[in-house]
Amino acid sequence: MENKSEICLPTCSVDYAFKRIGGKYKGRILWYLHDHKTLRYGALKRILYDVTTKMLTQTLRELETDNLIIRKVYHEVPPKVEYSLTETGGELIPFIDHLRQWGDRQIEKENRKL
Amino acid sequence: MENKSEICLPTCSVDYAFKRIGGKYKGRILWYLHDHKTLRYGALKRILYDVTTKMLTQTLRELETDNLIIRKVYHEVPPKVEYSLTETGGELIPFIDHLRQWGDRQIEKENRKL
DNA sequence: CTGCATCCCGTACGATACTG
DNA sequence: CAGTATCGTACGGGATGCAG
């Protein structure tokens, strides 16, 4: 069942992981949730300024289904929903953080060239 | 071919990084190139068994333009082209590896549930 | 062997309006 | 406030054929 990284079956773990966090907003959502510990729907939407309600809701549902984030509903008026990372989702933070630092360096490089 | 990165305004470095390695095959290509040090076009195509020539060529060009891989052409008959990681591309390997291990754990979890 | 050109399609994503 | 619902579109990606 376990296979070496060399010969990848249809369930290549690199491929698998990228599919789970590879959406247009997923990386940023996970990062922001880590950064703020917990965020309400509206706050998330403001930070991801270019996202539509449809995409935000859809993406949040996928992350929830994949057990990367927790959706906590407060039964109040007006409604209040808070999102936060699960433990499994939190395990991705080191990766995203290093990726972010790498991105910073590349952006700096490009700026020096211009 | 225009490089679409020029329009990429600095939304955030997480977004920037994901755009650079977020394609359907980019993560796997980078990983395999690290695993094998260097790979020919045909070998890559075999390993990524489900990729078309169009997508493979297109993805390799993007990675090359982004300075993540090196394309070395041997002027022979028949043609021979070898791909390998750049230093910048190599910097991503630890994080892809981290992601891969995370993916492995998730796949295992799912298998135990079934 | 390593690609490029063309045609085609599904779905990821966007815009807008509406609701509990 | 936190979403649905609906419609429309652009682009990622597949299949096939041809070329140096």
Nearest Cβ partner for B103 among A17, A28, A107: A17
What is the dihedral angle through the alpha carbons of B55, B57, B59, B64, rounded to the nearest 10 degrees?
A: 180
Tens-place pLDDT, residues B83-109: 999 999 999 999 999 999 999 999 898
Nearest Cβ partner for A102 among B92, B102, B104: B92
Task: Please count the residue pairs, one from chain A and one from chain B, whose beta carbons lie less than 8 angstroms apart.
Answer: 93
Cβ within 8 Å, pair A95-B92: no
Query: pLDDT confidence of B3, banded at 50, 70, 90?
Result: very low
Query: pLDDT confidence of B12, banded at 50, 70, 90?
Result: confident
Tens-place pLDDT, residues B19-33: 999 889 999 999 999
Q: Which residues pair with B83 in a beta bridge?
A: B39, B71
How would you class A95 by CB atoms within 10 Å of its CB: exposed for 0-12, middle for 13-18, buried for 19 or more? buried
Q: Which of A4, A31, A106 to mutate to test the interface with B (most CBs of B within 10 A)?
A: A106
Find tokens 């390998």 and name the residue: B84
**Helix locations, A37-114, DSSP H:** 41-47, 53-65, 87-90, 93-113
CB-CB neighbors (< 8 A) of A6 in chain B? 35
Q: Which residues pair with B109 in a beta bridge?
A: none
* Any A CB within 8 A of B7 CB: no
Query: pLDDT confidence of A4, banded at 50, 70, 90?
Result: very low
Q: Is the CB of A75 under 7 A from strand C?
A: no
Report the pLDDT value the prediction gives residue B40, as an integer from 0 to 100: 97
Find tokens 């020919």 and name the residue: B40
Give me the mean pLDDT over the A85-91 stretch: 97
Q: How far is CA A55 from CA A35, A43, A63, A71, B10, in A?
A: 21, 15, 12, 16, 21
Which tokens in the block code for residue B75? Answer: 């002027």
Nearest-CA distance B4 → chain A (Å) = 14
Report the pLDDT value the prediction gives residue A98, as an integer from 0 to 100: 93
For residue B30, give the nearest of B84, B80, B71 by alpha carbon: B84
- Domains identified in chain A and CATH numbers: 13-113 (1.10.10.10)
Q: How far is CA A104 from CA A60, B13, B14, B17, in A?
A: 26, 6, 9, 9
For residue A8, give the nearest of B18, B85, B46 by alpha carbon: B46
Task: Flag whether pLDDT at A75 surpasses 50.
Answer: yes
Q: Is the CB of B22 under 7 A from strand D?
A: no
Task: Flag whether pLDDT at A89 surpasses 60.
Answer: yes
Mean pLDDT of chain B: 88
Distant-in-sequence, close-in-space partners of B18: CB < 8 Å, separation ≥ 6: A22, A27, A28, A99
Tens-place pLDDT, residues B48-87: 988 999 999 999 999 999 999 999 999 999 999 999 999 9
